[in-house]
Structure 1
């Protein structure tokens, strides 16, 4: 246990991240994380995986974690409005943990329910004045979490409303990090919905501000690159991606918000691949997406990320007519689809499977495999439906 604690502390120090910042980023109880980092309590397998992901350690901490580790007992929640805040944050952590493992479909509306209940409490004017600031920040965070889960569940209109609400609440609370997060999520959603003009305006708004933390700037450059790729501007897309990669090589700064920990090599590789795909260069896209997929598989607890990159890689392979590469991706899909429910990835996968069936030049054996994958129960739409 002490080896685990020592390695985790060293990695946090190398990132310039405090234990409190890590607990907030991972949405773990700070007292529990402190006990783990000081060698006074075994880490749970989930915490070990989460720290590996946070610190880019690629399974190092999971290997050091004691084999008989168990989930810690839930700390006793405080009373009153502080207890409500505690409960909201605990719920957000559980929703996100479920999304990481199994996708957002089945928890998106539960998160919205918690958020809306908190919003009504806030709007009622009954939150004590001494707690209003923290309560407002927490509701902003719940709105952001709800927006992300709705996005993953392929409900972009509701997702946009949640992100807009998170942005407004964050500004009312004076919570700059959450404001930046909401803006980034709105840019992400605009790219997803093929609205490059909107994404560019948001990215440029962030980049035009002074004293923006490096990781927030990096994300804005990624969103800008994705939007430029959708307009077909290859030169400027590659310029922004190069700038993002240069920034990624710098250590995370103390000014970076805690939520920015996940901006890493995997994230950038995936966006680079998606940018090439938008530019009509699927062969180049495959390299970046494959790299992102390989890195995602090093964290076994994140099935949602793996199925997202798998769906992207299959689309790139089909567009490049790399049939054997497409086959390699498809044979890994059924087991994932049995446990991961991500509407966003299912939608993309169904469209690609339909494209394979419609492609007269695709090998017959690949079309047969596409039918087999489409028959997995979680892919409720049939290949025939995707032809419409």
Structure 2
């Protein structure tokens, strides 16, 4: 594997978490399929499925097995440093002219972010927490570390919060966000602190607390005005504010906040702030659809929902699924059940191993919206397909789905 680590094709395959491509490259270098299967602890039949693109590696434990078997550094696959990797040099052993660790931190962050978009937070939460514990936390108490390490800790802690939320653990997510904010403040990175406030606003919205969501959005906007201007960040904050106001039926203030978000995003530069959650045209379209839906402006909501789906049709499995759910929801509210069923069938193509409890929960909510129309044949047929797909999905996600108080998954 050492000779492959400099190959751009391998690096791209690792970034995409395309283990089938990695296996093909190993095989082309003379590693037999039997040896690959044995090292990865999978059957040869399953190996051929991966190599032929019939299925993808999804489980975190299997990524770790592959990384250890073929000595793939953990950060290339969005994993914590493996036990066999050399420990990072301590400050007293680093050369004075050695580069700061920002590059490695950014690479790890981007790997986690890319993998999260495709596989869902449930698959990666443990890896991010271990990375924080093993690679970042020791540097926080190192007297030679600068304020930048606190920004690294804040950004990754916020990411862990999102992954906990995606895994159905909102209390845990709130604790991560609560820890991330003071870390961001200590770092002096006010845009990062404002970004954490935006995440807290989103979480409050998910809990149905519009007043708290609006308060967090205002806090974020106050922080954002004190630091360097980042238009994409203020666009996100104005959007969260608009969503909170729309939930509270504050039509005119919500419309003004949404207009402000649109104006700010038009000013956004092509380059993102390295530690902030990306907020782009597709994200704004998705949020706008929800805002206008809550304001009962269903025709405009439909336009934005269709735009969000079109912009997410490649590269982001979870975002596409969530956008399609919103689109189907709006069709139901507009009494266009046929259109809702059509989008619903598209949703069934969502990877059953996508580790996102948020998607499972919203799919269930869509089912509840369609249930009153069960007497209509196409809806009845779709619900049968939906229930079959849900049972299969729950079996595949059994390792990450939190039990309900009654002791059964969701």
With the length of structure 2 as denominator, give the TM-score of the two structures. Answer: 0.67
Distance (Å, rounded) in 2 between the aligned partners of 1:86 and 1:242: 36
Counterpart check, 1:293 vs 2:309: yes
Structure 2, unaligned stretches of length 5 or more? 17-71, 77-84, 95-100, 398-405
- Distance change >3 Å, CA 242–CA 252, structure 1 → 2: same
Counterpart check, 1:374 vs 2:392: no
- Distance change >3 Å, CA 322–CA 283, structure 1 → 2: farther
Name the counterpart of 1:200.
214
Counterpart check, 1:266 vs 2:275: no
SS of residue in 1 equivalent to 2:242: helix
Question: Deviations for 1:293-351, whole angstroms, at most 9, x for unmatched residues?
Answer: 10111xx2211111111122122222222112111211112221324221111101112
Name the counterpart of 1:335.
349
Q: Is the 8 A contact 2:194 2:219 kept in 1?
A: no
Name the counterpart of 1:149.
163
Deviation at residue 370 of structure 1 after TM alignment: 2.0
Q: Is the 8 A contact 1:118 1:139 kept in 2?
A: no
Name the counterpart of 1:190.
204
Deviation at residue 45 of structure 1 after TM alignment: 5.4
Q: RMSD value over aligned CA atoms?
A: 3.6
Question: Deviations for 1:357-379, whole angstroms, at most 9, x for unmatched residues?
Answer: 2x157623213202212321115
The one of the two structures with greater contact order (alpha-carbon pairs below 8 A, sep at least 6) is 1
Counterpart check, 1:245 vs 2:262: yes
Counterpart check, 1:111 vs 2:136: no
Distance (Å, rounded) in 1 between the aligned partners of 2:236 and 2:86: 35
Q: Work out the number of aligned pairs and report it.
A: 318
SS of residue in 2 equivalent to 1:375: helix
Pairs within 5 Å for 1:1-388: 79-81=88-90, 90-117=107-134, 121=138, 125=141, 127=142, 129-208=143-222, 210-212=225-227, 213=229, 214-252=231-269, 257-259=273-275, 262-297=278-313, 300-357=314-371, 359-360=372-373, 363-376=376-389, 377-379=392-394
- Distance change >3 Å, CA 183–CA 369, structure 1 → 2: same
Structure 1, unaligned stretches of length 5 or more? 1-31, 36-40, 50-71
Deviation at residue 133 of structure 1 after TM alignment: 3.0
Distance (Å, rounded) in 2 between the aligned partners of 1:362 and 1:196: 35
SS of residue in 1 equivalent to 2:267: coil
Distance (Å, rounded) in 2 between the aligned partners of 1:291 and 1:309: 9
Distance (Å, rounded) in 2 between the aligned partners of 1:269 and 1:220: 14
Distance (Å, rounded) in 1 between the aligned partners of 2:221 and 2:108: 33
